[in-house]
Structure 1
Amino acid sequence: MDSTITETIRTYARAAQQGEKDLLRTLATIPAPSGHEQERASLVASWLREEGAREVEIDHASNVICHLAPKGATPDLRPLVVFAAHMDVVFPDVDALPVREEGGRMYAPGVGDDTANLAGLLMATKLLLQDEAALERATKGHDLLIVANSCEEGLGNLAGTRALFERYAERIERFYSFDLYLPQCISEAVGSERYEVEAHCQGGHSYHDFGRPNAIVELSGLVQELYETMPREGSDGTPITINAGTIEGGTSVNSIASRARLRFEFRSTSALALKEARSHFAGVVSRRGEALSHADDAPEAGLRVSTLGIRPGTGDVDQEELGRMSEATERIIREVTGEEPDPSPASTDANIPLSLGIPANTVGTVRGALLHTRDEWVDLASLEDGLRVILGLMLQ
């Protein structure tokens, strides 16, 4: 970028800090479990309209979508570049979230993942709404979609971004997601498959019926076998990770458990490795379920599997084009932070475009730690660097 644009970004990022902190503080108090982001969505949409955005909507998936185009552009014909950050947090709270500031840090559940990145995206959009020259530069050759999306976390299963691409996939040429921490720049998607396995058997009294199959024991045996036999890499050499996340069930300490549930996932960056893991998982569950049905008198005895969510990995994306996009992003990160970007793969909203062959980066724009805990924090001084990175990508 030329020196004039660089100075515009630096000056605005410095001047916008108090406004960004105030916005972050407001957003961070609003509860937003995956699938229940409506209150945050309403605030974000209202804020954008107050800042001058004319084309703002909340879609059926609770995504807030702000369409930016230069004056005179033909609607619905130009390609789109998406800049997104997710609104949801991992916590189920429905009451106001606690926020405190201490020692230059802001503490709140979900403050870094992803509320601070969302605040940065909104403040960058504010410059485009206020500065006609900046908007013209950012929309040269394409329109922008500024998206505060839903359902990135956990069992949200990327529903917000899926809905976005169901609507706009044919027009989107690049996708940027702001998530996680500086200096991350992710262009390889970690795919995952998540399942729930239910064990059913007759159960009975812990003393008088001792020896009957126990649903908890059956699932414990299943977990042990999966950990002992599940491949740790695919035939292509790509690593596979597994996790037994929850196991619950039973009636009382003196009852043989007749029902129990296990939640299990596996992950890999390779579609082939995921397919092989799925085949192994299905085979183990089928064999053990059949054995349980023969060993127990209950007509419904056995194991039942349901799919909780599937996040796709990287698909057939043009690696040269993706490489150019990532190199440009990494250059901006270096210029702003002086640090070498971290390209480690991750599971983010960018999984969806990457699986569809659309170049995408997930970029961290804050510094902090302890994500997915109630002690999560961000360094408020890092907001300036993050805003410079976002604007650099918009105006490059």
Structure 2
Amino acid sequence: MDATLLRHARSYARNYHEEEVRLLSKLAAIPSPTHHEGRREAFIADWLRRQGAKDVRIDEQGNVLCLLRGRHPRKDGKPRDVAVFSAHTDIVFPDTDPLPVRIEHGRMMAPGVGDDTANLVALMAATRHLLHDEGAYDRATRDVDILVVADTCEEGLGNLAGTRALFEGLRDKGRHVRSFCSFDLYLSQCISHAVGSERFRIRVKTQGGHSYQNFGRPNAVEVLCQVIEALYAIELPVDPDTGAKTTINVGHMEGGGTVNSIASQAGALFEFRSESAANLKRMEGLFRAALDSCRRDGVDIEVETIGVRPGNGPVDARRLAALAKRSADTIRSVTGRDVDASPASTDANIPLSLGIPSICVGAVRGSLLHTRDEWVDLASLEDGLALVLSLMLQASDAL
């Protein structure tokens, strides 16, 4: 990585640190459940406009889009390529009241503060610098337009709806995306291989009845337990070519009524994941077979698909490797640490499935994500902002 560029990014990150902490504290307090991110959307759009952004809008899905246009059009008159940088606005908690935020011993604690609020704030702060520094703006947009996105519906059953809508919109406008970078998770993660997943709602229905008078009729709760036992008895596929594993999870159960009633209904949420498309295809059949093994007279088992996250598609291997290397080299230069390239499921799944070179990079240190005790190390914000800004400054560099 260019040493002058890194010094420039570090200087800004150091000078802006206190303001970044204040911005994080404000944004972390704004509730933002999946599908209900409106208050954060409005805050972010207004904040970007106050920094001088001229082209900011909120699309129908709720994504905040900030376009930084290069000053020099292409000589052939065609639209410039786009480099997309994103972070998601939603958190896993359903709260609609302001979220509790506190700072103790150099840590900020709040629900969702690391996943993904701190990463989002780093993206906002880096965008601010491009808007305020003409030289940095021109370097970043020398050969591409930069689209900064605060996207919705990354968590849980959001099913990556924000990023799906983003790429549908770019396709409809005929914009060619050169690269995509999502900021999520922790330093020093650098993810270029997507973990695909399929998610289902399983419902078991029976006639039910009185616990004594009708004893012996199928009990929906007991049948659901049989279903779960059958699922966990599956010999999970392993890709013979890559060694990729498959994982499963039952994340929620409900059902029944009173203690003296045979349960007439019960349900569960189930998912399986793998970075191997072959594993996912094989798992689909094993999943259906496990359900079939539990069907019998008086028992109705229904399945509803509630989410599909695709894995890597036909991405140009050379260009993806170049993007991953550039990102990894930048991470090492900023942090001095080895890179964790383990595959994961992130917003980058969507562009990777479409064949677009894409990466997901963490920009904060912390722990306990998806718990109400989540925290981030405030000192790490400096490294995170320097990293995000460095990657944006390299957006026009060839892959």
TM-score (norm 1): 0.95
Instruction: Give the root-mean-square deviation of aligned CA atoms.
Output: 1.3
Q: What CA distance in whole angstroms lies between the structure 1 residues aligned with 2:372 and 2:364?
A: 18
Counterpart contact for 2:45–2:57, Cα < 8 Å: yes
Amino acid at match of 2:230: E
- Please point out which of 269, 275, 291 is paired with 1:263: 269
* Number of the residue aligned with 2:110: 108
Runs of 4+ in 1 over 4 A off after TM superposition: none
Q: What CA distance in whole angstroms lies between the structure 2 residues aligned with 1:70 and 1:174?
A: 16
Verify: 1:96 aligned to 2:98, yes or no: yes
Q: What CA distance in whole angstroms lies between the structure 1 residues aligned with 2:237 and 2:260?
A: 38
Verify: 1:201 aligned to 2:203, yes or no: no
Give the direction of change, closer, same or farther, for the CA distance of 1:366–1:212 in structure 2 (3 Å limit).
same
Deviation at 1:76, TM superposition (A): 7.5
- Please point out which of 299, 313, 316 is paired with 1:315: 313
1:168-208: CA deviation from partner (whole Å, max 9, x where unpaired): 14511100000000000011101111001111110011111
Mapping 1:72-221, distance limit 5 Å = 72-73=72-73, 77-169=79-171, 170-221=175-226
Percentage identity across paired residues of the two chains: 54
Verify: 1:31 aligned to 2:31, yes or no: yes
Deviation at 1:44, TM superposition (A): 0.1
Verify: 1:226 aligned to 2:226, yes or no: no
Counterpart contact for 1:205–1:255, Cα < 8 Å: yes
Q: Give 3-state SS (helix, strand or coil) of 1:61's partner.
A: coil
* Number of the residue aligned with 2:376: 378
Deviation at 1:321, TM superposition (A): 1.0
Deviation at 1:341, TM superposition (A): 0.6
Q: What CA distance in whole angstroms lies between the structure 2 residues aligned with 1:270 and 1:305?
A: 23
* Number of the residue aligned with 1:389: 387
The size of the alignment, in residue pairs, is 388
Q: Give 3-state SS (helix, strand or coil) of 1:229's partner.
A: coil
Amino acid at match of 1:210: F
Verify: 1:65 aligned to 2:65, yes or no: yes
Deviation at 1:73, TM superposition (A): 3.2
1:216-241: CA deviation from partner (whole Å, max 9, x where unpaired): 11111011011112424245442110
Amino acid at match of 1:27: L
Amino acid at match of 2:207: Q
Q: What CA distance in whole angstroms lies between the structure 1 residues aligned with 2:289 and 2:257?
A: 29
* Number of the residue aligned with 1:337: 335
Q: Give 3-state SS (helix, strand or coil) of 1:288's partner.
A: coil
- Please point out which of 283, 289, 298 is paired with 1:283: 289
Q: What CA distance in whole angstroms lies between the structure 2 residues aligned with 1:263 and 1:4?
A: 51
Give the direction of change, closer, same or farther, for the CA distance of 1:234–1:205 in structure 2 (3 Å limit).
farther
Return 5+ residue gaps in structure 1 as ranges: none
Verify: 1:272 aligned to 2:278, yes or no: yes
Of 118-127 and 76-85, the range deviating more from structure 2: 76-85
1:286-344: CA deviation from partner (whole Å, max 9, x where unpaired): 3433x2xx2x2xxxx41111011010111111111111111111111111111001001
Deviation at 1:4, TM superposition (A): 3.4
1:355-393: CA deviation from partner (whole Å, max 9, x where unpaired): 111111100000000000000000000000001111111
1:51-106: CA deviation from partner (whole Å, max 9, x where unpaired): 00000000011000000012243697111000000010000000000000000000
Amino acid at match of 1:238: A
Of 313-322 and 86-95, the range deviating more from structure 2: 313-322
Q: What CA distance in whole angstroms lies between the structure 2 residues aligned with 1:168 and 1:70?
A: 17
Amino acid at match of 1:343: A
* Number of the residue aligned with 2:397: none
Of 74-83 and 157-166, the range deviating more from structure 2: 74-83
Counterpart contact for 2:55–2:66, Cα < 8 Å: yes
Counterpart contact for 2:70–2:143, Cα < 8 Å: no
Counterpart contact for 1:28–1:115, Cα < 8 Å: yes
Amino acid at match of 1:332: T
Counterpart contact for 1:332–1:393, Cα < 8 Å: yes
Q: What CA distance in whole angstroms lies between the structure 2 residues aligned with 1:160 and 1:76?
A: 27
Q: What CA distance in whole angstroms lies between the structure 1 residues aligned with 2:152 and 2:239?
A: 32
1:91-131: CA deviation from partner (whole Å, max 9, x where unpaired): 00000000000000000000000000000000000010001
Return 5+ residue gaps in structure 2 as ranges: 395-399
Counterpart contact for 1:326–1:361, Cα < 8 Å: yes
Q: What CA distance in whole angstroms lies between the structure 2 residues aligned with 1:231 and 1:104?
A: 43
TM-score (norm 2): 0.95
Amino acid at match of 1:158: L
Counterpart contact for 1:230–1:277, Cα < 8 Å: no
* Number of the residue aligned with 2:43: 43
Q: What CA distance in whole angstroms lies between the structure 1 residues aligned with 2:144 and 2:70?
A: 9
Counterpart contact for 1:230–1:281, Cα < 8 Å: no
Q: What CA distance in whole angstroms lies between the structure 2 residues aligned with 1:148 and 1:328?
A: 23
Q: What CA distance in whole angstroms lies between the structure 2 residues aligned with 1:284 and 1:235?
A: 23
